[in-house]
Every structure is written in C-alpha cells, then in structure tokens.
Amino acid sequence: MRPMKKTFIEDIAQRLRIIPNLDREHSSSESVDLRKYPDPENWHDHIELDANEWPKRVERRYSLVPTTCFNCESACGMLAYVDKESGQVAKFEGNPHHPGSRGRNCAKGPATINQINDTERILYPMKRVGKRGEGGWQRIYWDQALDEIAAKIRTSLKTEAKDRVVYHVGRPGNEGYVERVLKAWGVDGHNSHTNICSAGARTGYSLWHKHDRPSPDHSNAKVILLTSSHLETGHYFNPHAQRILEGMMDGAKLIVIDPRLSNTASMADHWLPTWPGSESALFLAWAKMILERDLYDRDFVENWVNWEDWLEADYPDEPSTFERFIELLLEEYAEYTPEFAAAECRIPVEQVIEAGEAVANAGSRLSTHVWRSAAIGNLGGWQVARTLHLLNVLTGSVGTEGGTSPNSWSKFSPELFDEPPAPDGWNELHFPLEYTLSHYEMSHILPHLVKDGRGTMDVYFTRVFNPVWTYPDGFSWIGMLEDEESVGCHVALTPTWNETAFFADYVLPMGHASERHDINSYATSAGKWVAFRQPVLREYARREGREVEFTREVNPGEVWEEDEFWNELSWRIDDGTMGIREHFMSPYREGERITVDEYYQYTFERVPGLPEAAAAEGLDALGYMRKHGAFLIEEATYSKHEQEGWPTPSGKQELYSPTMVEFGYPEHAIPHYRIRSHVHPDNLQGEDEYCLLPNFRLPQHIHSRSANSKWLVEIGHRNPIWIHPKDSAKLGVAEGDLLKIETEIGWFVDKVWVTEGIKPGVVGCSHHIGRWRRAQDQGNRFLSNEVSIEDIGDGKKRMRTISGVGPWESDDPDTNRVWWRDGGVHQNITHAVQPDPISGAHCWLQKVRLSRPSADEKYGDVEVDTEKSFEYYKRWNQMAKQRETHPRGERRPLWMKRPLSPKKEHWFIPE
Ligand code: SF4
C-alpha cells in the first residue's frame, strides 16, 4: 500500500500530469477528505474566528444548515452559516456530504448570500395599477392575491378547458412538485424553457434509447469528448468540472469541440474549432475510422443494437449477418472521410485524424457530452447528439465505467404521497400538430402561435422564467403579454424583478435557495443521489426549539415558498365541488390538509437505503436529510441495461429508427449528416454574412438571475462581440470600436473584442448580459441599463440605452461603491425564432451582417421589426408543416417521453 504522503517530486509530477493521480489510489473518486470539514455532529455549534476582526481573535458561533444551490440545475450542496447572534445567514460554503458537489461550489453558490440580501428584492405581493406593462404597482395582501387568482383559475377550469391555465417554468429545481399540482387541477398546463436549451440534444439521444440525456463518467474516462460551449458555464458545471479534472489528473485526454475557445477548451489536449453545425460530419468520420480499423466493440454492437432491423428494412435481399452489416454500414458512411470532415469543419485534416485516433482507441472509457451548444444552435442540431452517441455505441462505452450512461439511471424519481390522474386533454399551443417529434413544448414560438390564432390563455404563470429577456424575439413576448385577450391574467412567481415580471398582473415573491423546500437529484456523476433544498432559517428555528408552521414565518418580508403557495392556491380554487382538495390531504392524519414536512417525510421514507442510514444515527428519514442535506443511493449505476434492456420499441439501441421513417423522415433512418445547418457556409451570402454564436455565457452568470448578485456582476458585466483578427482587419475595426450587427429581424450595436479565441467567419456574443429596465421599473441595478422603448410604427420597436450602471444609496454600503458603468447589450431580442422542424428546438445561431453604425446609432441601441419576425417564423414553421405525418393518427410517437403526459387517448388526433 502506498504511504499516505506524496513526495515533493511526486506532487509536482502529479500536478503536471506527468504521472497519474496518486491520491486516487487511496480515495475513491466519489469521496472527500472529510477531515477538512466540520463534523456534522457539531454543525449546530460551530465556532470560527471572525475574519473581519483580524488581528484580534474573536470567536463567532454558527449553526451550519445544509441546503442546495438554486443557481443552475446541478443543485450542489451548500452549508448556510447561520450566525447565532444575529439569527441570520452570514455566508454559504460547500456541503462535503453532498455526493454530487463534494464540498465544492462555483462562484454562483456562495453568491446566494447576495441574492437573499439584495436590497431591491421583492418582499411583498404586488398587483399592477394601470395598463399591463405601464409599470404601476400596489402592494396587496397574500389573501387578496390568492383569492383573486384562485377565482380566475376556477372560472377557467369550470369551462372544462384543459389548456388555458398554464405554468411556464424557467429553472425547475424540484422533482415533480408542480407537475402533481397541475394534474390535481386536471390541466395539460406544463410549459418549460427546454426548447431553447436542451431539446435538440434530447431528441438525438431519445432516438437511440428513449433516455434523453447523457451522464458521462468523466472521472474514470480515458478520453473525455465534449461538444459544448456550455459545459463549464452551465448545467453540471461544478460537478462535471471537478470530475473532468480528476480524469485528466489520471491521464485522460480532453477533446473539446467548440468554435470558441471556452475555459474548458483552453485546458484541452485537442481543441477543434469546428464550423458551427459541422460536428456530425466529424463524428461520422470518426465512426468510420472505428469501423475501418476494427476498433468497434463487437459484443456490444452485435447484441445491443438493432442492426438486424436496418438490414431487414433497407437490405432485405442481403444476408442478415453481423459481418455484412458492418460492410453495409461502411458503404453507407463511405463519404465521411477525414478530408470531408476537415472541409466541412474547416479544420486541418491532421487534427481530424489525431483526435479521431484518441476517440477510436478509447474503448469502453469514452465519456462524451453535448448539451446546449451545437445541438441547440443549428438546424438539424439534434443529429449532433445522435452521431456523438454513435461513437459511444461503436466503442461499447454505453453504461460502462469511464463511459457514458443514460442520465435516468443516475436520477432518483421521488415517490409522491398522491398521484392525481393524467390530464384529460392535449394542449396544442404547447405541442402543435406539425411538430410531431418535438421533444418538449414549443415554448419559444408561443407568442407566434397565439398571434397565429392557435389559442389563448386564461391564467399564465411564469415561474423563475424571463422569456422577454432570455428568449429570442422578446418584443413578440411583450406584445403577447400586453394583450389581455391573449393572456387573461399573468402571474409572475419570482424572487427578483425581471423584464417579464414588468408585464405581469401579479408579482408574487418566492424564496431563494435557502428559503424554500425542494427535492433534487441529477446525473452529475456515475452514482445516484438525492438532496434536500431546505429553508435554512426554518431548520435553524427547529434546532433552537421553535416550531415553525409555514416557511414564510422565517422568510424576509412576506416571501413565500412555492410548495406552500401551490398547496394554498389549490385549496382555494376548489369550491368543494371540483375534487382538487382530495389531492392535498395528509397521508398521516385522516381528513386533514398535508403539510410540507409531511410531503417530504413521505418521500424520504421511500428512498432506498435512507431510512436504514437514518436509523443508524437515531433519526428518521426526514431528520437525516435535515441534518446532512443529501444521501448517496448508489455509488455507481453502470450496465443497468443488462437487467433492464433499453426502453425503445426494439428493446435495443436504435441505430435504425423506424420512428423516423414512420413520421415522415426516412432519410434520417440511421445517423447521417444530411441536414446542413442554416449557418452552413453554403447558406451564407459569401463572406459578407457571418455566423453569430450567442449561446454561451460567462461562467459566473445565472441565466437571468445574477443581476442582483453584486459579486458576480463585479466579475463580469459586459458582452462585447468576439471577432477574429482576420475579420476585424477585413472590417477595419479595432478593439472597443462599435459594430452594428444585423439579424434577420433587426439589429443591435455592440463593442468589438478582437481575439483569436473565436473562429474566423464566426462572431460571438455572450447572453446573460444586457439586462434592462425602463424608467418606471425597478430592481437589478447592479447589471441593468435604463432604457427607453419606442414604438416606431409598422410593428417596429426601438430600444435605446438612457444610462448605464451606476452607484446608489441603500442599506448595503456596496451599492454606493459600484464602479462599473457598462451593463452590456440585449442581443437576444433581435434574434429571429428558428424552430427546428424535427426536434422543435430553437436554433440559436443567427446569420448576421456586420457594419459600422451610423452617427445616430449608439452603443446598446436595438431595433426589431415584429412583423418581419412573424413572417420569418412562418417560413420556419412551414418546414414542419410540409413534412407533417401522423401514422395511425398518432400526434407523436407513443413511446417517446412527454413531460406531464396526458391520458393515452389524447396522444391520437381526434377523428
Ligand atoms: S454549479 Fe450550479 S448548483 Fe453548483 S454551485 Fe455553481 S451554480 Fe450552484
């Protein structure tokens, strides 16, 4: 056995990655050296020296309460340090007992303290005064808000409509809570942000095996292959980043495919700056290399792939042998040579071959990932995920140690105390007929569908969701929200003001991460875990012997937590005749309403292994989660298919998709590169048109919830145009100059950043910067510009920056120390919607023209033609309509997932 302590030379060699990570020989990749952390037994009485009192040694006493971060999907564990003197949270640090994050957080975790102490946060329910969007508000009591909203929902439900009460969610952060509520109301009313996020990749993965997300085991990989500008800056950032580094410390090669030199790409062994949308050509060339060199895993492919179905369908006269299958697949992929890939990707052929050899020789330890980036950027982006997974299939690295598993193997699904029946209807505003394979709701074209006369809404909840700012074509969102015929009542559930809340009827303050309950479980590693987001002051009060009935009793102002809001609202909707209340009764106390504690108690009692672990500490399951905040259910979830098979019609990995054939896309029966992106060079008008890459963000920003986080904003607050020196020379612009970027529907003016970190012909601009408020609006002053919005006729809108960021007086002395003045530019609002006809995903990349602005066009100016945007939507919509096919009258494939699935009969088009 190795000695515990490394030598100095070993330490240096390990850091330089000359030798493997010696530490890992005596500590599992999933473990943490807990000696560095306070013992949970002492968490209610933790003593630290007060750094602010240095050099004096002043002790402070804390109660450390575990919860989880809400600032991205990873739900990393955090420990809230509750100062026992003030009874308030002093800071957040990592929770070492959380199996996903293992004590670490990114910058956004500790910045939760900024969010809860934001001097501009919404503390009371607000109701609009005057016209919607004018900016007038009055504070009201919760009772009034609940009664008025409940009455509107009741009226809608009593019409028997199943699609006119809608909950539209940005960051979900919980497992099944609201879906259950919507089912209790009987509405097909779930909408999400997924079609601007992950729907492209989900479609590609689900075609293979129904599971629609990947779970790479980076720690144990030999080769880590990332197609992502998003990884280190988005979902699973911290949990993945630490495992990528572990894998690399252990000798893994890192390959990053991205036209932009992201932080991850800068650490890579191979950075392949491919032309956006060409990634599938590269993966198919590598697939061909694997096949030609006999490096495929015969056992896996022969037994777990439906190759026989392909032969039967397309080569009925050929012998149905595995050898013949390989020959035919090679013939099928003959065009995908390294030279072809190099030409499509616009990278050297040597680079294609060199990186391809690493992939081809990775065997079962190839961990791959694509999330947003190419899969959500391009027309046909879904095929990027499909061809990427082909590499896992061929190398036999599906479900293996060091390979890539389906995420659902590592995700815990809570058992709920009550399951109302599935909705008895189908919402065609969310799943229009022509988008037969759209994996999630067609949320980004909602305003266009409404304008097209496809439907309207009685009550529309936006919840931690800011489409006016985050989505493309935000002026169309404003148009829909301002129109009371389209949206009868808009309720914004949000902890902080945002551009969408400005156009609401009610703004209801909801708790931040440390002020609410949620169950979390995500595939951030090879294992399976469950975590508990809990309101920390409620738990602190309990530890101190004070009983708290509702979380709002300990939250600031009149901030509620959502769980209690949904329970109370549901109760008030039902006038005693609607059968809703029966779904909110305690499973423990006959005839009484359920409490939030009972809800979580019921679920945690049913987590495999948790009651036993709790009992070993003399606790019940809820007590264990309150104490530790997380529980590891399975150390690793490899090879589950050997017991469970694959949940596809064939029971196998579907190289050949009968579904694609039946639903009108026979040319996509097997993975191919048959769709050229809308930003393929052939679709650009020569060198005068560029590809705008907008779908990346700065690592310290949250989608649209960091504008009130002073620490995060201080680090990054601008979004200049990234432009390669060759292009800046061609355009005659230098660092800091202004450029006018014209999209299909409008334009914006931004500053230039000249960098070799972007591919020539491509320009980049980070979203999540460029927040705004009008003179009559409030909140987010750390990052928002004050703007004017003008209607300039014929559907044209103009936004101009009146003033940038500046200091202001408040109870927080830091607001008076704000030194930055530039709040960036709102680019998303100038983007045209581009719904992929197959996956339904928004294709984020935009064709743009670049020029010098005229004298009266200033930095931050934006102009959009909403009539043009509607016409443009119709052109893309036509692509789906032209291929609309419904075998057996099915709206969409019966076997594919759908969030909040209605009753089976509604999956068929009514006669
Ligand atoms: S990775 Fe996500 S969940 Fe984890 S600390 Fe950062 S923002 Fe929070």
The residue whose CB lies within 8 Å of the most ligand 1 atoms, and thus the one to mutate among 72, 92, 264, 701, is 72
pLDDT along the chain (911 residues), means of 10: 58 62 48 76 95 94 97 95 98 96 95 97 98 98 98 98 96 90 98 92 97 95 86 75 94 96 92 97 98 98 98 98 98 98 98 98 97 90 98 98 97 96 97 96 98 98 95 98 98 96 98 96 95 98 97 98 97 97 98 97 98 98 98 97 97 98 98 98 92 91 89 95 97 97 98 97 93 96 97 97 97 97 96 98 97 97 98 98 98 94 97 83
388-to-10, 366, 882 alpha-carbon distances in Å: 37, 11, 28
Ligand 1 within 6 A of CB of 531:
no
Ligand 1 within 6 A of CB of 264:
no
Ligand 1 within 6 A of CB of 496:
no
Measured from the Cα of 72, ligand 1's closest atom is 2
What is the maximum alpha-carbon separation in the chain? 87
Measured from the Cα of 107, ligand 1's closest atom is 6
Ligand 1 within 6 A of CB of 69:
yes
Of the candidates 873, 779, 14, the residue with the CA atom closest to the CA atom of residue 454: 873
CA of 170 to the centre of ligand 1 (A): 16
Distance CA 30, CA 27 (A): 8
Ligand 1 within 6 A of CB of 107:
no
* Residue nearest ligand 1's atom 2 by CA: 72
CA of 109 to the centre of ligand 1 (A): 5
Please give the backbone phi and psi of residue 543, each rounded to the nearest 5 degrees, phi first. Answer: -60, -30
Burial of 59 from C-beta contacts in 10 A (0-12 / 13-18 / 19+) = exposed
3-state secondary structure of 310: helix
Please give the backbone phi and psi of residue 15, each rounded to the nearest 5 degrees, phi first. Answer: -65, -35
Burial of 875 from C-beta contacts in 10 A (0-12 / 13-18 / 19+) = exposed
CA of 118 to the centre of ligand 1 (A): 19
CA of 650 to the centre of ligand 1 (A): 38
459 token code pair: 């009550």
What's the pLDDT at 28?
41
CA of 716 to the centre of ligand 1 (A): 17
∠ CA 221-208-883 to the nearest 5 degrees?
140
Ligand 1 within 6 A of CB of 371:
no
Strands 190-191, 253-257: pairing is unpaired
Number of residues that make up the chain:
911
∠ CA 885-891-893 to the nearest 5 degrees?
85
Cβ contacts of residue 810 below 8 Å, gap of 6+? 119, 120, 816
Measured from the Cα of 74, ligand 1's closest atom is 3
3-state secondary structure of 849: strand
383-to-169, 219, 717 alpha-carbon distances in Å: 26, 27, 34
CA of 237 to the centre of ligand 1 (A): 7
CA of 531 to the centre of ligand 1 (A): 14
The DSSP secondary structure of 488-547, one letter per residue, reads: EEEEEEESS--TTGGG-SEEEEB--GGGS-EEE---SSSSEEEEEE--HHHHHHHHTT--
Measured from the Cα of 106, ligand 1's closest atom is 6
What's the pLDDT at 5?
61
CA of 190 to the centre of ligand 1 (A): 25
What's the pLDDT at 17?
58
Measured from the Cα of 112, ligand 1's closest atom is 8
Ligand 1 within 6 A of CB of 238:
yes
Ligand 1 within 6 A of CB of 848:
no
Q: Where in 641-769 does DSSP place strands (E)?
A: 689-693, 721-723, 738-742, 746-754, 762-764
Distance CA 143, CA 127 (A): 12
Q: Is the peptide bond before 20 cis (omega within 30 degrees of 0)?
A: no
Distance CA 342, CA 350 (A): 9
373-to-75, 218, 369, 424 alpha-carbon distances in Å: 21, 19, 11, 36
What's the pLDDT at 16?
59
What's the pLDDT at 609?
98
Ligand 1 within 6 A of CB of 105:
yes
Q: H or E stretch including 824?
A: none
125 token code pair: 């329910």
Distance CA 494, CA 904 (A): 34
The residue whose CB lies within 8 Å of the most ligand 1 atoms, and thus the one to mutate among 69, 514, 701, is 69
User: Residue with structure tokens 């929200």?
Assistant: 481
User: Residue with structure tokens 């065997």?
Assistant: 363
The residue whose CB lies within 8 Å of the most ligand 1 atoms, and thus the one to mutate among 71, 101, 521, is 71
3-state secondary structure of 131: coil
* Residue nearest ligand 1's atom 4 by CA: 76
Ligand 1 within 6 A of CB of 75:
yes
Distance CA 570, CA 579 (A): 10
∠ CA 332-333-337 to the nearest 5 degrees?
150
